[in-house]
Structure 1
Amino acid sequence: MYKIGTNRNGLSRELTDPLLRLHSPGDPNVKLVFTVMKLMNPGVNGTAVILDLKKLPKEEAEKLQRSFEEREYSSYTSSLIPLQRSLPDVRLQGCHTLYSDPNLPETSVIIVFYNEHWSVLLRTVHSIMDNTPPHLIKEVILVDDASTDEVLKEPLKEYVSRFSKVQIVRAESRQGLIRARMMGFEQSTAPVAVFMDAHCECFPGWLEPLVTRIAENQSIVATPNIHGVDPKNFKINEWGQGRRLGIPVLTFPNLLFSWSLMSERERKKRRRETDPVRSPAMVGCVIAVSRSWFKKLGMFDPGLEIWGGENAELSIKTWLCGGGLEIIPCSNVAHMYHPHRPSDENRIRYMRNLARVANVWLDKFKHFTDNYDGSLADYGDISDRIALRDSLKCHPFEFYLTHVNPDQVIPGDGIYTGAVRNAEMTTLCLDAGDRAQEGSNKVLLYSCHGQGNQRWELTEHHEIRVGGECLDSGSEPDVVWKACHGQSGNQEWHVVRLDEHVFLQSNGYCVGVTKDKSALVLEKCQKSKLQMWTWKQNRKPRMS
């Protein structure tokens, strides 16, 4: 054995025989790399491990490059970092004294892995065991979703045998993340379950806030503040906290999630930065839920395949069926986001999942999602899911849009929606153009076709947008589009109706057409047909 550093508890980091057995041919020659790169405690406190390809021997450099190509993260770099690497205490001021109840319920942590690199998987396990009070962990269940990597079989079993609370459950055939999580849940016994991805690292004090909130209210699904692990150098990137906390929201038409800032409405409800934050949606990488509440909600839809849609389904039905979803700011977990290679097979499976969620939970709003009619992928029998919804007497999806996230953007369901046609030049419409082709972000005046870059939406925040791009009045006299920032200002517009036409007004200026009728311009508002537009009003605002 040889020493490769120490962790914050002074425990020696040594490659023991069981750990050596986990190594595969693509892993680094640790002793050689430590010597060549002069590494000292690599990754300590979540710092990056930067490897200079020019200094590495050719064979090692090829391993490094190959590891990223094969796994979409650098397992080579991960193998150089102690399994028990220290992480800083990033909790907000006041968190340390809030969660000290010794009588919190026990938790089962369920981790699904499929050919995950052994160092990444074991660092997840070590971070749980090292940063959690022992009395809160009843069991850590590792669900092997039919991995083919030999080191994840007997060698992994031998290594985790040192943990009395860690067990491995193995699927005989590939189940996919969703059904494998269900396998782990069926094996679990604690009153609280935490579903966690196999590429996470838990900060000190991560679990107590989640379990405390669930103990206070069994119908709350709790998630931590999620930070990032860089897939190349394994640096822990601390993401927003306090006012900068990222809030997941659903995106249409694919029901994935995107990040948003906390709304002013939500901010005003909170007394302290440490208070839980209502969240319209969740990131699926770490989810804490009461066992009884999860079962009452019908768990994950067993008809969902492999991966995708399960976090949207759980988010929506939690809110519609009497529960709530919250981010707990005092809980911090880092998660490694890495790209997944697209394939036609995965796309079809996701489309199938998407249609199941839409047809069970979205009511008339399902028409704004992809594959709602099953034309791209058959979504199968959903009668049991509809029966579940009926038995729980859940709210309609309109409730979600009115009371949970009135800011929800649904392309095609804006307050005003569709083509914006000039009143004087009735064949020409506002067009976002194509920056790649035009080399500009100017909004164009173009022949009306009403599709794609001409499908404008007026949102609850008074944005006029196409997709993630918003009309912006900050480049007078030009009319431009920029990435939506949600902070009003130059992207706040008022649609002023005059008979059958509207004015598009921002900061005292109106969108009009130049006198030579060749381009768009921002100018002082006046009653000119060149400033008047025809735009379909779709509905009333959800917020006053």
Structure 2
Amino acid sequence: MRTGKGEHGKPYPLTEDDRDDSAYRENGFNILVSNNIALERSLPDIRHPNCKHKVYLEKLPNTSIIIPFHNEGWTSLLRTIYSIINRTPDILIAEIILVDDFSDREHLKEKLEEYMARFTKVRIVRTKKREGLIRTRLLGASMAKGEVLTFLDSHCEVNVNWLPPLLNQIALNHKTIVCPMIDVIDHNHFGYEAQAGDAMRGAFDWEMYYKRIPIPPELQRSDPSDPFESPVMAGGLFAVDREWFWELGGYDPGLEIWGGEQYEISFKVWMCGGGMFDVPCSRVGHIYRKYVPYKVPSGTSLARNLKRVAETWMDEFAEYVYQRRPEYRHLSTGDISAQKELRKHLKCKDFKWFMAAVAWDVPKYYPPVEPPPAAWGEIRNVAANLCVDSKHGATGTELRLDICVKDGSERTWSHEQGSVLQAADCYFGCC
């Protein structure tokens, strides 16, 4: 029944003045539009129709909702809080923890404390120096008392009945990480809509960029509103049993500021006895910034984080990353012995298992290595001491298996892209 600009997630009608770069400078999204739409605006219910008829467990665990922020806009932060309070059963919220990562804007100090006093379940925790996203989340998690930890960003709007589907999945199996469908709130006009392609699996390429790929037929449910397995998460929005999170070691504290943490927690949960699911009936809108508006502390290296994750969890598959990112080879990861020990303690499976059992469809989209333009060598069955040779030892004749000999008469085989296997003479080991 609500009317007004931005209601029902409709785009705000922008004028040329509204698009001035100054509106984006402090937040990476148009704060003027945010300031001119209601803090408690209505959103469209874009869930699958089956979601409206789902029944969840009568007793669900409660949750601590942890929201880290650094110099967040006033109205975008408040809209996040209002959407949670208005669209979540109160009995399921143990607390909402706002973790301020050393913000220096005045509206986030005493003014924020006074405003949040009206919400009995909201408390503010502040870091003493710039810690970054990873350690800020860890700080919030360390102070949480809810049975489940739910992590959100500070510029989100949760949609109707978003939380019960997440908690239900964890109640069924506490060793489960669950993620909502992440909808898009446009950084220009704040229009709300589903991501392109909507429900898709989280994946990665060998340069360690997050990707989304189609759900393969083997994993598609008869009811498309049911949760489905996902190899990796987008990173910002998820829920996890609090005890299981700490049993997994939380985030690796050696990761700096941000980046790579979504791979670390994703690989870890799968390889160490848990699972991860995307939940179509839980939808949360998120503002994807036009650009990052704040400075990252000097010396911070996303590449270092990614290499640390690769060295800790990816085993021999780390080589695929280094082939794509050769500059990573010589980076220091810091001491990862504690992470290796954690893997051993939890009796985690290896990354080969992860690729075969969980992320088996990823190489279809992102092959690990490009085939070489040419290859050559001896073709030998070591156990039987048999080598591939050409009949009568002549190029272009039929192939056969014969006893490998070392008298200089073996043949080597070469293959050029787009051509057939060719035999070439090899004398005295010089080919």
> How far did residue 198 of structure 1 move?
0.7
> How far did residue 413 of structure 1 move?
3.4
Contact 1:230–1:236 under 8 Å retained in 2: yes
> How far did residue 311 of structure 1 move?
0.5
Whole-Å Cα distance in 1 between the matches of residues 347 and 327 of structure 2?
Answer: 25
1:357 and 2:320 matched: no
1:65 and 2:21 matched: yes
Q: Which amino acid aligns with 1:354?
A: L
Contact 1:321–1:393 under 8 Å retained in 2: yes
Percent identity at matched positions?
37
1:400 and 2:354 matched: yes
What corresponds to 2:127 in structure 1?
A: 171
> How far did residue 379 of structure 1 move?
1.5
Count residues with an aligned counterpart: 381
Q: Which amino acid aligns with 1:207?
A: L
> How far did residue 124 of structure 1 move?
0.7
Whole-Å Cα distance in 1 between the matches of residues 421 and 131 of structure 2?
Answer: 52
SS at match of 1:351: helix
Pairwise mapping of residues 111-260 of structure 1 onto structure 2 (< 5 A)?
Answer: 111-239=67-195, 244-253=198-207, 255-260=208-213
Which of 273, 277, 283 does residue 322 from structure 1 map onto?
A: 273
Which of 243, 256, 262 does residue 305 from structure 1 map onto?
A: 256
User: Are the structure 2 counterparts of residues 502 and 276 from structure 1 closer, same or farther at C-alpha, using a change threshold of 3 Å?
Assistant: farther
Whole-Å Cα distance in 2 between the matches of residues 297 and 107 of structure 1?
Answer: 18
> How far did residue 271 of structure 1 move?
2.7
SS at match of 2:25: helix
Of the structure 1 ranges 348-357 and 136-145, higher mean CA displacement relative to structure 2 is found in 348-357
Q: Which amino acid aligns with 2:210?
A: F
User: Are the structure 2 counterparts of residues 341 and 123 from structure 1 closer, same or farther at C-alpha, using a change threshold of 3 Å?
Assistant: closer
Whole-Å Cα distance in 1 between the matches of residues 104 and 215 of structure 2?
Answer: 43
What corresponds to 1:447 in structure 2?
A: none
What is the RMSD of the two structures over their aligned residues, measured on CA atoms? 2.5
Whole-Å Cα distance in 2 between the matches of residues 248 and 413 of structure 1?
Answer: 17
What corresponds to 2:242 in structure 1?
A: 291
Whole-Å Cα distance in 2 between the matches of residues 377 and 152 of structure 1?
Answer: 37
Which of 43, 51, 61 does residue 6 from structure 2 map onto?
A: 43
> How far did residue 501 of structure 1 move?
4.5
Contact 1:368–1:411 under 8 Å retained in 2: no
Pairwise mapping of residues 464-483 of structure 1 onto structure 2 (< 5 A)?
Answer: none
What corresponds to 1:369 in structure 2?
A: 321
User: 1:286-330, CA deviations, whole angstroms, 9 ceiling, x for partnerless residues?
Assistant: 110001111111000111110101111011111111111100111
Which of 192, 211, 218 does residue 265 from structure 1 map onto?
A: 218
Q: Which amino acid aligns with 1:358?
A: A
User: Are the structure 2 counterparts of residues 534 and 48 from structure 1 closer, same or farther at C-alpha, using a change threshold of 3 Å?
Assistant: farther
User: 1:371-430, CA deviations, whole angstroms, 9 ceiling, x for partnerless residues?
Assistant: 78965542211111100000001011000111101122397735x712269xxxxxxxxx
What corresponds to 1:470 in structure 2?
A: none
Structure 1 residue runs without a partner (length 5+): 1-6, 9-39, 422-498, 504-530, 536-544
> How far did residue 272 of structure 1 move?
1.2
SS at match of 2:243: helix
Whole-Å Cα distance in 2 between the matches of residues 116 and 345 of structure 1?
Answer: 17
Higher relative contact order (Cα pairs below 8 Å, separated by 6+ residues): 2
Pairwise mapping of residues 383-398 of structure 1 onto structure 2 (< 5 A)?
Answer: 383-398=337-352
Q: Which amino acid aligns with 1:392?
A: L
What corresponds to 2:393 in structure 1?
A: none
Whole-Å Cα distance in 2 between the matches of residues 51 and 159 of structure 1?
Answer: 29
What corresponds to 1:3 in structure 2?
A: none
User: 1:184-236, CA deviations, whole angstroms, 9 ceiling, x for partnerless residues?
Assistant: 00111011010111111100010000000000001110001111010111111
> How far did residue 369 of structure 1 move?
2.1
Q: Which amino acid aligns with 1:413?
A: P
Whole-Å Cα distance in 2 between the matches of residues 533 and 74 of structure 1?
Answer: 58
Contact 1:99–1:212 under 8 Å retained in 2: no
SS at match of 2:371: strand
> How far did residue 116 of structure 1 move?
0.7
Whole-Å Cα distance in 2 between the matches of residues 287 and 125 of structure 1?
Answer: 17
SS at match of 2:88: coil
1:335 and 2:286 matched: yes
What corresponds to 1:413 in structure 2?
A: 368
Whole-Å Cα distance in 2 between the matches of residues 300 and 263 of structure 1?
Answer: 30
Contact 1:222–1:326 under 8 Å retained in 2: yes
User: Are the structure 2 counterparts of residues 395 and 132 from structure 1 closer, same or farther at C-alpha, using a change threshold of 3 Å?
Assistant: same
Whole-Å Cα distance in 2 between the matches of residues 191 and 322 of structure 1?
Answer: 19
What corresponds to 2:419 in structure 1?
A: 532
Whole-Å Cα distance in 1 between the matches of residues 421 and 121 of structure 2?
Answer: 66
User: 1:86-121, CA deviations, whole angstroms, 9 ceiling, x for partnerless residues?
Assistant: 112222122123244331110110000000101111
Pairwise mapping of residues 15-54 of structure 1 onto structure 2 (< 5 A)?
Answer: 41-53=4-16
Of the structure 1 ranges 209-218 and 74-83, higher mean CA displacement relative to structure 2 is found in 74-83
TM-score where L is the length of structure 2: 0.82
User: Are the structure 2 counterparts of residues 534 and 126 from structure 1 closer, same or farther at C-alpha, using a change threshold of 3 Å?
Assistant: farther
TM-score where L is the length of structure 1: 0.66
1:98 and 2:54 matched: yes
User: 1:305-359, CA deviations, whole angstroms, 9 ceiling, x for partnerless residues?
Assistant: 1010111101111111111110011111111112337989678521111111011
Contact 1:412–1:418 under 8 Å retained in 2: no
SS at match of 2:119: coil
> How far did residue 172 of structure 1 move?
1.1
